[in-house]
Amino acid sequence: MKVFAGLALLLGSVLLSMGVGAGELKGMKFADEIEVAGKKLVLNGMGIREGGVNRLKVYVAGLYLESKTKNHRRILRSKKVKRIELKFLINVREDSIVTAWKEGFEKHAGADYAKIKDRVNKLLTWMSTTDANQSYVFTYVPEKGLECVIKGKNMGILAGPDFAKIFFAIWLGSPPLDHKLRSHLRGSAE
């Protein structure tokens, strides 16, 4: 019995040292499971956002859902709790962030942009120059809205499932911000 207990302890130590229970990419760690608004969310996928002419690695994104799926359309239609975390790998200027976010909203909202413009503008006022190792966490909770935590500070909630759907479409819609990143957030590779 002592031998079995010793082996179990050794195996547990080895598994913990291997990082079981968390995803890691470019040194950025994501828990396999988290609890949000009383719901257990699982890490659906994670990937790197590459941007600019030189395809700089800007941030690592992780997508959490109540249940895993590779179908990005199902994720966007879902009325369940979901979260995307962005962990920055490089410093990014405020004007670059604001421009990219505004373009993403305009592209995915199309003719409905006027309906969400005030909420987009509010989100943009929360943006500032972001340093490497800082993070953004966006959590959609039905009946509540999109909770925005920027660099560790809870900035507020942007109401409406319409806003949240367009927000998540930036990464998961057609066309996405980055095809490779969308594939990884879905938990698959294209």
Confidence of residue 53 (pLDDT cuts 50, 70, 90): low
Which tokens is 178 given? 């980055």
| Edge-to-edge order in the sheet of strand 39-51 | 33-36, 39-51, 56-65, 82-88, 135-141, 145-150, 153-158
pTM, entire model: 0.85
* In-domain check, residue 166: yes
Mean per-residue pLDDT for 128-154? 97
% residues pLDDT > 90 (the chain): 80
* In-domain check, residue 9: no
* In-domain check, residue 159: yes
Q: Domains in the chain: how many in total? A: 1
Q: Distance of CA 92 to CAs 85, 98, 127, 132, 162, Å?
A: 16, 10, 11, 8, 28
Question: Burial code of 44-57, b = ≥16 C-beta within 10 A, e = fewer?
Answer: bbbbbbebeeeeee
Query: Mean pLDDT, the chain, as a whole number?
Result: 88
Which tokens is 98 given? 């604001």
Task: Give the pLDDT confidence score for residue 22 in this predicted structure.
Answer: 66
Q: Which residue range forms the structural domain that includes residue 102?
A: 23-185
Mean per-residue pLDDT for 47-65? 91
Residues 6+ apart with CB under 8 A from 18: none
* In-domain check, residue 168: yes
